[in-house]
Amino acid sequence: MYIQVAIDIPLFTTFTYAVPPAWQAAVQPGQLVQVPFRNRSKTGLVMSIQETHDPALKPASIKNLIDIVDLEPLLSTTGLEFLNFVADYYFAPIGEVVRLAVPSAVRVEGMKHYRLRALPEEESGPMQELPALLGEAVEALRGQGQVAIRTIKEAVRGLTYVQLSELETLGLVDVFYEEEKAKVRARTEKYYKIARPLAIGERLGATQEAIFQLLKEHKTVTLTTLRASMKSPHASLRGMEERGLITSWSEEVYRDPFADAPATAPKLFEPTPAQAQALEKIAEARRSNRFEGFVLHGVTGSGKTEVYVRAIRETLEAGRTALVLLPEIALTPQFVGVFRGHFGERIAVLHSGLSQAEKFDQWRRIKRNEVEIVIGARSAIFAPLDRLGIIVVDEEHDASFKQEEGPRYHARDMALVRGNLERAQVVLGSATPSLESFHKSQLPAGEPGRLTYLPMPDRVAARPLPRVSIVDMRGGYRAPNAPKLPPSLISEQLTAALGKTFERNQQAIIFLNRRGFSPCVLCESCGHVFQCPNCDVSLTYHRRQEALRCHHCDYALRMPEYCPECAHTGLGRKGTGTEKLEGYLQELFGQTRIARLDRDTSSGKNLQKIIAQFREHEIDLLVGTQMVTKGHDFPGVTTVGVVGAEMSLNFPDFRAAERTFQLLTQVAGRAGRGELPGVVFIQTLMPDHYSLMAAQRHDYAMFAAHELRMRKELHYPPFTYMIALKFEAVSEGATIQAARDYAAAAQRQIRHNPKFAEGITMLGPAMAPMARINNRARWQLTLKSASRPLLRQFVRLFLSDAGHFSAGNSAHKNVRIVVDVDPLNML
Ligand code: ADP
Ligand code: ZN
C-alpha cells in the first residue's frame, strides 16, 4: 500500500511513501502523517492511497511512512479534491495549497499537547489495562499538567503517535493545541458533580447546600456557573471535595475571540417581493439537491443580509451547513452580530486576528460538526465543513477575495468550484457585481458557467436611494477675490450640507482614498521629490508622527528640515490625505465630534471601538479611506461626501473605471439607510467620466453596458482570460533575464503550434507599472486568450518548457516567479 503525501514545501508534486502493514488499516486520506524527507522527518497530508506506485519509481527509493500524527483526518475526500483543483487551477505547489487549508498543518504536530484527565475514581478503570508503553506515557503525564506530545514521545522510547492516540480514544487525556513558543495559558473549565449521596445526619453550610442542590439538579455544573450563582463558592467546594461528597475535573473549552461581538436581537421581517423571489429560486436548487450559482444584485439597503439569513436557515433545516465569506470581517462586526442573533452558538468566526492556536481551535470545532455556520474572510473557503449546503459571498466584487501572495486564489471563484463539488447553492451578493459575475449572469440559459441573476432593484420599505450630486472642482477657489487662499478641500455645497446635517444632529461620512497628511513632499527651490529608496513611489508625510513614510514597504524617515540636494529649507507638502482632511474638517466644524478610519488610526480593538462609537452616535463625522465604504449599516448617516473621486481612475489598470464605480456606489450607499433620506456629494476633477455619472444615477446597467462594450473591443476580461507571470528580484538584470527566458519559452510554444499562434496573445515582457517595490525590480509577462482551456494548456506547456515545475531548476534561483491566474492587481 502506498500513499501520496503533500509536504509543506514549494514543490509542485506530492511524494510517494510505502505504508508498513501494521498501519494499513489505520491510514486514511486527509490524515496528517510523519514522513522522512531529505534525511529529516517532515509532516505532510495524505492526499490519496494506492495499491501500486508509479512504475517510474524505483521500489528501493520508496521510503516508509514513519507515523500517523493524528488518526482523525483533517480533511474529507471532497476537501482534498478541492485542494487538488485549487493547486491545478492556479499552477500552485500542492504543499502551499495544503498550508492554506490546514492552519499551520506542519505545526500541528508541535502544537498538540496532552493533559491527563482528573477523572472521577470509578472511571479511571481502563488505566490498569494499558499496554506497557502507554502505561509509561500515563506516568510521564501524571502530575505534569499539560505536556507536548513530542515530549512524551521523547520520554517513552519507541512509542508512536498512533499508539499515543489510544489515550484519546479511551478518554484518558484532554487535548490542547498551543503555540509552541508563546505559552498561551490553556483555557480549561472546571466541572463538578456529586460523588456520593449525603450521609444520614451529614450537615452542610448554606453555600454548600446551595451547591449541592445545583449539582443535584443539573448533574454536572461548571465553576463559572457556580461563581455566577453564588458568592465565593471556592472554600465550600474545597470542603465538599475533601469530604468526598463531590468530585471535580477539568475539560478543555474552545477559545472564542468573537464572544464579545454583540448579538443583535433578530428582527423578523415579512420578506419583500424581491427577497421572496430570490429565496424561491435558491430554494428550488436546494430542493433538487443541485449546485447552482446566483448573482444577488441588490442595491445598497435592499436587504441582502435578510436573504442570506433565510436561505441559510432553510439550508440548516435541511440538515446541511453554511459558509459565509466577507471581505474584511474586522470591519463588519455588525454582520457577525446579526448572524449571532439568528443562529447563536452554532457559528465559528474565522478572521485574521486569530492566533494559530485559536485558528486551530475553531477549525477543530468545524471539523467535529460542532458548528453549522462558518463566517470568515477569503481563507474560510477552505473551512472543513461537512455536508456544505450553501456558500454566500457578500460584496463579491471586493478585491480582497483575491489572495495576492502564495497561491493567488480568488475565494469567490473557488466558492463556485467548491459549491459544484458539494452540490451546494452559491450566492454572490453585491450592489455592484463584478463585471465577470454580471456577465456570467447574462449568458443565455444552458451556457456553461451561467449564473442565475437575482435582482433586487429597490431599497426595503420604499426608502429612496440617496440623491447624488457631482461637484466640479476644476480650478475652483472658494473665494474668487482672494486668490492667495489655497484651494478649498471641501466645496461650498458639501460644507453647507454638512453644516445642516450636524445642526439636525445627524451623521456624515467623508471618503478620501488616501491616507497620511500629504502624499508628496518636494523642495520648493530645486524640485527634489522625496522618494522611497526601496520603491517606485513618493513618500507620504504623516503629521502626527512628523515622518515621511512609504506605503509599500516599512521605510520611514523623520520629516527632514531641508532638502538633501540643495539644502533649501522650504519643503512643500502637496496634496491631501485623510489626516490633513480630518484636521481641515475639525477647523471647519469646531464643535463636531470627528474620527478618522484608516489603517493609521484603526487596527484591532481601536477599529471596533471607532465603528461602535459611530454607531452609537458618539461620533458625528467619520473621515476615512476605503474602510468607510464597506458594508456598514449606520442608520443615522444622512450625508456622504467623496473627495478626489477621480483618484482611482488614474491607475494604469483596465479595471480602474469599474473600481471607481464600485467605490462610489458603495460609499453613496452608506447614506439614508435609516428613516431619513440621504444626500451624497462627489467632488472631482473629472466630472464627465461615465463611471461617475453612472454612480450619480445609481445606474449599474448603464455602467455595465458601457464598460462591457469597451472590454469587448479591447479584448479584456470577461471576454478574454488572462494569466500574468510576475518576475521580481533585487537585481534588475536577473529579473529581465528571467522574464525574457520565459517569454522565449512561450514563443517556442506559439511557433510550435498553430492553435496557440491563432488563439494566444502575449503582452510583454515589460516593466511593471510599479517598477520597484521593497527594493525588488518587477517585470511582467501577460498571456491572454478567448478560450480558457487553450490558455491553460498553453501556459502549462510553456512553463514546463521553461523548467518551471521541476525542483532542480536553478536558472533563476534569485528571481521570484509568480504565476497569477485571473490577475486582479495589474500594477
Ligand atoms: P444590504 O445588505 O442589501 O445593503 P441590509 O441587508 O443591510 O441591506 O438591509 C437594509 C436594512 O433593511 C436593514 O436595516 C434590514 O434590517 C432591513 N430589512 C431587510 N429586509 C427587510 C424587510 N423584508 N422588511 C423590512 N426591513 C428589512
Ligand atoms: Zn518603500
10-residue mean pLDDT series, the chain (827 residues): 90 91 90 89 90 87 89 89 96 90 61 74 58 82 79 81 82 73 56 87 87 85 82 88 86 57 70 96 97 96 94 96 89 81 88 74 83 94 94 96 94 98 97 97 93 95 89 68 59 92 95 93 93 92 92 90 92 92 91 91 78 92 89 86 90 92 92 87 93 95 97 96 96 94 94 94 93 94 96 94 76 89 91
Give CA angle at 484 (478, 490), nearest 5°.
30
Q: What is the Cα–Cα distance from 421 to 436, expressed in whole angstroms?
A: 21
**Is the shortest distance between the CB of 460 and ligand 1 below 6 Å?**
yes
Asked if 559 and 602 touch (Cβ cutoff 8 Å), the reply is no
With b meaning 16 or more CB within 10 Å and e meaning fewer, what string describes 10-20?
ebbebbbbebe
305 Cα to the center of ligand 1, angstroms:
7
Ligand 1 and 303: CB distance under 6 A: yes
Angle between helices 333-343 and 304-317 (to 10 degrees): 40
Q: What is the pLDDT of residue 184?
A: 43
- Of 681, 312, 341, 709, the C-alpha closest to 510 is 681
305 lines ligand 1 (CB under 6 A): yes
Q: Which three cell numbers stand for residue 333?
A: 462586526
User: Which ligand number lies closest to the CA of residue 267?
Assistant: 1
pTM for the structure as a whole: 0.84
Amino acid 441: pLDDT: 97
Distance CA 619, CA 582 (A): 13
CA distance linking residue 583 with residue 729, whole number of Å? 40
Q: Tell me, using a 6 A CB cutoff, whether residue 301 lines ligand 1.
A: yes
How many A from CA of 815 to the centre of ligand 2?
19
Helix axes 273-287, 304-317, angle to 10 degrees: 30
- Of 581, 617, 614, nearest to 600 by C-alpha is 581
Which residue's CA is the nearest one to ligand 1's atom 23?
Answer: 271
Q: Is 461 in the pocket of ligand 1 (CB under 6 A)?
A: yes
The finding on whether 633 has its CB within 6 A of some atom of ligand 1 is yes
Q: How much distance in Å is there from the Cα of 107 to the middle of ligand 2? A: 32
User: For ligand 1, is residue 300 a contact (CB within 6 Å)?
Assistant: yes
Q: Is 269 in the pocket of ligand 1 (CB under 6 A)?
A: yes
Instruction: State the pLDDT at residue 106.
Output: 43
Cβ neighbours of residue 317 closer than 8 Å, sequence gap 6 or more:
none
- CB of 298 within 6 A of ligand 1: the answer is yes
- 261 touches 347 (CB < 8 A): no
Q: Name the residue type at position 338.
A: V
The sign of the CA dihedral 726, 730, 736, 737 is negative
Q: Which three cell numbers stand for residue 633?
A: 449599516
What is the grid cell recorded at 327?
471581505
630 CA from centroid of ligand 1 (Å): 16
Report the separation in Å between the CA atom of 328 and the middle of ligand 1, taken as the mean of its atom positions.
Answer: 20
Ligand 1 centroid – CA 662 distance (Å): 20
Q: What is the spatial distance between Cα 388 and Cα 386, in angstroms, rounded to a whole number?
A: 5
Cβ-based burial of 257 (10 A; exposed 0-12, middle 13-18, buried ≥19) = middle
Distance 629 CA to ligand 1 centre (A): 17
Evaluate: CB of 666 within 6 angstroms of ligand 1: no
Ligand nearest to the backbone CA of 394 = 1
| d(CA 557, ligand 2 centre) in Å | 11
Question: Does ligand 1 have an atom closer than 6 angstroms to the CB of 271?
Answer: yes
User: Cβ(334) to ligand 1 under 6 A?
Assistant: no
Please give the torsion angle defined by the CA atoms of residues 59, 65, 71 and 77, in that order, rounded to the nearest 10 degrees: -40
Residue nearest (by alpha carbon) to ligand 1 atom 18:
303
How many whole angstroms from 651 Cα to the centroid of ligand 2? 18
Count CB atoms within 10 A of the CB of residue 67.
19
Instruction: Write down the pLDDT at residue 262.
Output: 56
Proximal ligand: closest to the CA of 776: 2
pLDDT at 496: 93
Work out which ligand 1 atom sits closest to the CA atom of 304: 3
Going from the Cα of 680 to the center of ligand 1, the distance in angstroms, rounded, reads 20
